[in-house]
Amino acid sequence: MTAALHAGRLLARRYRLLDQIGAGGMSVIWRARDEVLDRVVALKVLAPSLAADARFRDMVREEARAAAQLVHPHVTSVHDYGETVAPDGATTSFVVMELLSGEELKLRLTEGPLPWAEAVQVGAQVADALAAAHRLGIVHRDITPANVMMTGVGVKVLDFGIATRIGAPDEDEDGGTFGTPAYVAPERLDGAPAQPATDVYSLGVLLHEALTGRVPYPADTWEQLSDALTSGPPPTLAGLPELPPAVARICLRSLARDPADRPTARQVATVLRAHLLPADTTPVPPPPRPPATPVPAAGGEGAAGPGGGAAVPADAGPDRRRRPLLLIAAVLAVGVALTVAALLPEQRATPRTQPTAGPAPTASSGPTVTESSRPAAAPSAPGSTGSPPAGPGTLMEAANRVDGLIGAGLTSGEIRADVGLDLRNELHNLTATVGSGRNDLAPPVARLREKVTVRRGEGGISQAYAERLDAAIAELGAARV
């Protein structure tokens, strides 16, 4: 049976095996050519020693079904599942996936921990992928560095081989626990049903390892893990003084022993993304008069910026020479607030923000505001008259209007949930790309408009709403960078 898998063999009269590029305990990965669509793909073939067992074939098929539901930029795309029967009756089961070019995070970490900013970026993208899976009721159950591929377009989460539905029994038929011990949540040792919090724990372990080069509780067996959880010291990130405190807190919260004390994957992604935002260099025109009340900066500090002082009305006090400095402080604070609002649609907390679609708000996430009557309106800056800006305005203002339109479309049912997620990710990538210094808007705007067209053709966006989105994105292309 092993010899039957060789370069040149054709599976399912379609997939020509080219060369073996990887192997694991349950499967062999082949590079193959799809001779129908004329493209190179990856084939994950069930190991011959397991192929005769219908349980393992079912597991491979369920992996394909789970991953195929996830249309997400940080999840490996699954194209097909197939089975082929040899003349001797042996069945070969395989999953057809996109062929990735990159490096496993596991291999990267053999060189030591990542710079904290890179580790945070990896964690945010994995958290985004998990949040998408959890919304569909899927728990991955095996988030480890070996299942995260670092590619030129960001990380990709691999291997949904032991994924299951939320609430499903977490043990196999023999009462054993699936997964890699050092990354398994404590409650899984007790056979608790599968739940999103177990993935969040694994995410916390992965982030801790990316930041420090080590897992919080080293273990190669379930017995070692149990002992480490019982007697090992609590994890800490105290040795990383340059790490933002909010990142350290969200990582350690993810490692909480009690699943109820852990944040959601979406909350982890939101906090981590907040520390990936480029510095705001977009010029913001000053309002006619500075606000007479303090303007909150991103993160809840005073409007005066890093110094932490509260804003003061420009006409307060006899020394009018101080007015330009106070005005600059207020303008910078408004610019930072607008930037965060545009790039972090999940973390809005005031009525001036745009509508958003997603999980129901929790006690820590603040109220969600909808505004279906004006879905494309941008939030008013403090001190403004509330009238819409003339022209597309700055990049962040235009991006915020597009995001608000997406959110309103999700609320009204004009945009399907997975499509809204896809568009928001593309919009976030666009603003991040431009904010990093690559100021040519034309290519990413063209990609976003093309995505709207494709999604409309798939039925994921209504015709009328697609036209509104396209117009808003066209305005984005004309915005000031």
Q: Measured between alpha carbons, how far is 474 from 479 in angstroms, rounded to an integer?
A: 9
**Residues whose CB falls within 8 Å of the CB of residue 126, separated by 6 or more in sequence, listed in order:** 74, 143, 148, 155, 157, 203, 206
Are residues 337 and 298 in contact, defined by beta-carbon separation less than 8 angstroms?
A: yes
Domains of the chain: 2-97 (3.30.200.20), 102-274 (1.10.510.10), 305-358+370-477 (no CATH)
CA nearest neighbour of 257 among 317, 158, 188, 321: 188
CB atoms within 10 A of CB 264: 21
For 347-391, write each residue's pLDDT tens digit. 333 333 333 333 433 333 333 333 333 333 333 333 333 344 445
Structure-block tokens of residue 6: 């060789």
Q: Which residues are catalytic?
A: 142
Work out whether the CA dihedral 411, 412, 417, 419 comes out positive or negative: negative
CB atoms within 10 A of CB 339: 25
CB atoms within 10 A of CB 10: 13
Work out whether the CA dihedral 288, 294, 297, 303 comes out positive or negative: positive
Which residues of the chain register pLDDT less than 70? Answer: 1-4, 24-25, 49, 51-52, 63, 161, 170-178, 277-392, 432-439, 481
Question: What value does the mean pLDDT of the chain take?
Answer: 74
Are residues 17 and 28 in contact, defined by beta-carbon separation less than 8 angstroms?
A: no
Give long-range contacts, CB 8 A cutoff, 24+ apart: 422-428: 422/71, 422/72, 422/73, 422/451, 422/455, 423/448, 423/451, 423/452, 423/455, 423/469, 424/345, 425/72, 425/73, 425/128, 426/73, 426/451, 427/399, 427/402, 427/403, 428/273, 428/343
The answer to the question of whether 156 is labelled as a binding residue is no
- Which residues is 190 bridged to in the sheet? none
CA nearest neighbour of 175 among 195, 189, 196: 189
Question: How many angstroms separate the first and last alpha carbons of the chain?
Answer: 60
DSSP 25-61: SSEEEEEEEETTTTEEEEEEEEPHHHHT-HHHHHHHH
Stretch (H or E) spanning 66: helix 54-68
> Helix, strand or coil for residue 350?
coil
Q: What is the pLDDT of residue 123?
A: 97
**Residues whose CB falls within 8 Å of the CB of residue 289, separated by 6 or more in sequence, listed in order:** 314, 383
Q: What is the pLDDT of residue 64?
A: 75
Q: How many CA atoms lie within 13 A of 365 on its CB side?
A: 22
- Per residue, the 3-state secondary structure of 152-168, as one string, reads ECEEEECCCCCCEECCC
Query: 332: buried, middle or exposed (CB in 10 Å: 19+, 13-18, 0-12)?
Result: middle
> Helix, strand or coil for residue 398?
helix
Structure-block tokens of residue 427: 């919009």
Q: What is the pLDDT of residue 272?
A: 96
**Residues whose CB falls within 8 Å of the CB of residue 136, separated by 6 or more in sequence, listed in order:** 69, 70
Stretch (H or E) spanning 229: helix 222-231
Looking only at the bridges linking them, the beta strands covering 91-97 and 164-165 are unpaired
Q: What is the DSSP letter of 415?
A: B
CA nearest neighbour of 475 among 403, 398, 404, 405: 398
Token match 């945010």: residue?
Answer: 124
